[in-house]
């Protein structure tokens, strides 16, 4: 790693948007730490990126596991001494259909989705914040979704008005609230915090019906990760365009 190289941690980086985000950042000279639930998978992914000329490292990171979160923070501190970019990419859904009935949502599924999409993000970000403060320009990118927009869900003219998978949507709305609150807390520091809507992308979650390819879907995260000092903070962004909360 070059002495002045930026260091990025991407969660859920062994496939899909996370892997592509790591690849695009690495191609711009960023040292990438790829997080995956299993250490072997993380290291295999990092090895693939290294073969492509990217400075990459793998870490075991099940985001809902407190021991994994602490171990990753210690690893970054010992190896790099700072963290410049945190991309909270890992997420899940319950497979709810668009016909989901909100009042009958399964409570276990609701808890499971919130644990990954919200509680784990808050916990990991808090764990890594001291390392982000050591960066001259820390960047936090929370992978949200347009389905987390309360304004668009409430608008009968919105394209997502009839898409109401409650557990997933609510977890992303909560994540957006975290973005707003943390950005306010850090407004007098160099750290910028934003929510990213990647678009409807052809991933395992997005399915083959999605109109966007994975490289295009990763662009918003990469742009927010590399924001200059005049870039936005506390915003909800898709490909450079601000979305309503």
Q: Do residues 173 and 142 touch, judged by C-beta distance below 8 A?
A: no
Centre a 10 Å sphere on the Cβ of residue 143 and count the other Cβ atoms it contains.
25
* Angle, vertex CA 113, rays to CA 144 and CA 24, nearest 5: 40
Which of 105, 87, 96, 116 minimizes the C-alpha distance to 20? 87
Q: Do residues 49 and 23 touch, judged by C-beta distance below 8 A?
A: yes
Helix axes 166-185, 120-132, angle to 10 degrees: 20
Catalytic residues: 168
Q: What is the DSSP string of 140-164?
A: EEEE--GGG-HHHHT-TTSTTTT--
């Amino acid at each position: 790693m070059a002495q002045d190289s930026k260091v990025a941690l991407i969660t859920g980086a062994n496939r899909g948007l996370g892997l592509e985000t790591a690849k695009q950042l690495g191609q711009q000279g960023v040292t990438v730490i790829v997080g995956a639930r299993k250490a072997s998978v993380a290291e295999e992914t990092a090895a693939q990126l290294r073969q492509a000329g990217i400075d990459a490292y793998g870490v075991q990171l099940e985001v809902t596991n407190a021991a994994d979160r602490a171990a990753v923070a210690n690893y970054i501190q010992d190896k790099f001494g700072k963290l410049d970019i945190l991309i909270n990419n890992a997420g899940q859904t319950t497979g709810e259909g668009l016909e989901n009935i909100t009042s009958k949502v399964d409570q276990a599924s609701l808890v499971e989705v919130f644990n990954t999409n919200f509680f784990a993000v808050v916990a990991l970000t808090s764990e890594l914040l001291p390392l982000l403060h050591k960066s001259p320009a820390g960047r936090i990118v929370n992978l949200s979704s347009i389905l987390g927009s309360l304004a668009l869900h409430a608008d009968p003219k919105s394209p997502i008005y009839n898409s109401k998978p409650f557990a997933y949507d609510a977890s992303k709305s909560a994540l957006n609230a975290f973005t707003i609150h943390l950005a306010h807390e850090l407004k007098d520091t160099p750290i910028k915090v934003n929510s990213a809507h990647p678009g409807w992308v052809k991933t395992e979650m997005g399915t083959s019906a999605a109109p966007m390819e994975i490289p295009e879907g990763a662009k918003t995260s990469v742009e927010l990760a590399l924001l200059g000092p005049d870039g936005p903070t506390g915003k909800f962004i898709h490909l450079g365009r601000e979305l309503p909360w």
